């Protein structure tokens, strides 16, 4: 697959303030062949900002959740390798993109994840032993097909991709990326609703982690 390009998929919900900069960085990466923005029922100008940037835009009438938005992007993608990027990411440069794209593009990995390096040393150490949660990941499209539809819900897709990649018989990798940050949920949605969104995400990740790594792996159901 050396010499090919990848499709970049950006699931977005009310990210008009940041998505333009994300798209501009993606355009600078020579390994990105197409950019697909999936506007998941935004109330702001997310879709319009993306259209003005001259990329492929898919618009959902309602907010269907991250996994459904990712699914729409995968179905529309022309290439066999997909890179998912968050619409609220800051500092994700072309050089950092190439660092996580190359291991999959050259055929060595079925999935490669870019984990945001935190300032706290202990946090980075702990992350080495936990399921990797990141909106910055590159996968072969075949991996997406391996994930049953019942696991393609909300943030559960993060853990599901990890699990089915680990059972694929192919290699998986990750690296820590410095100089990157997200716009935190509390800043985007306000303290109360931001906290609710964070708790909802945490619950989804805990549920699917137990469902796959304990119930399915041990009990086989």
pLDDT in 10s for each residue of the chain, 221 residues: 444 899 999 999 999 999 999 999 999 999 999 999 999 999 999 999 999 999 999 999 999 999 999 999 999 999 999 999 999 999 999 999 999 999 999 998 999 999 887 654 544 454 444 446 788 999 999 999 999 998 898 778 888 999 999 999 999 999 999 999 866 544 555 565 556 665 666 666 666 666 665 556 555 55
String of DSSP letters for 116-143:
EPPS-HHHHHHHTTS----S-EEEEHHH
User: Residue 165 is encoded by which pair of tokens?
Assistant: 């990649």
Alpha helices per DSSP H over the chain: 19-28, 46-52, 66-76, 94-105, 121-127, 141-146, 156-166, 185-189, 191-210
The pLDDT score that the predictor gives to residue 31 is 98
Domains of the chain with CATH codes: 6-184 (3.90.550.10)
Hey, is 182 helix, strand or coil? Answer: strand
137, 100 contact by CB (below 8 A): yes
**CA 20 to CA 22: how far, in whole Å?**
5
pTM, two decimals, is 0.81
The pLDDT score that the predictor gives to residue 186 is 46
């Amino acid at each position: 697959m050396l010499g090919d390009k990848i499709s970049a998929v950006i699931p977005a919900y009310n990210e008009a303030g940041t998505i333009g900069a994300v798209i501009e960085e993606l355009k600078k990466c020579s390994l990105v062949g197409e950019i697909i923005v999936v506007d998941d029922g935004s109330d702001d100008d997310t879709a319009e900002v993306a259209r003005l940037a001259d990329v492929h835009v898919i618009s959902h009438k309602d907010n269907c959740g991250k996994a459904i938005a990712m699914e729409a992007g995968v179905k529309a993608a022309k290439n066999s390798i997909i890179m998912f990027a968050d619409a609220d990411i800051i500092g994700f440069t072309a050089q950092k993109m190439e660092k996580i794209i190359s291991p999959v593009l050259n055929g060595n990995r079925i999935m490669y994840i870019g984990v945001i390096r935190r300032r706290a040393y202990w946090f980075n150490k702990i992350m080495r032993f936990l399921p990797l949660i990141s909106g910055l990941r590159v996968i072969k499209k075949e991996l997406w097909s391996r994930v049953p539809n019942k696991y393609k819900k909300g943030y559960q897709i993060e853990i599901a991709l990890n699990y089915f990649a680990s059972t694929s018989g192919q290699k998986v990798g990750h690296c820590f990326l410095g100089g990157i940050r997200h716009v935190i949920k509390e800043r985007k949605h306000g303290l109360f609703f931001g906290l609710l969104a964070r708790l909802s995400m945490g619950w989804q990740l805990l549920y699917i982690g137990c469902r796959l790594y304990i119930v399915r792996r041990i009990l086989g159901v």
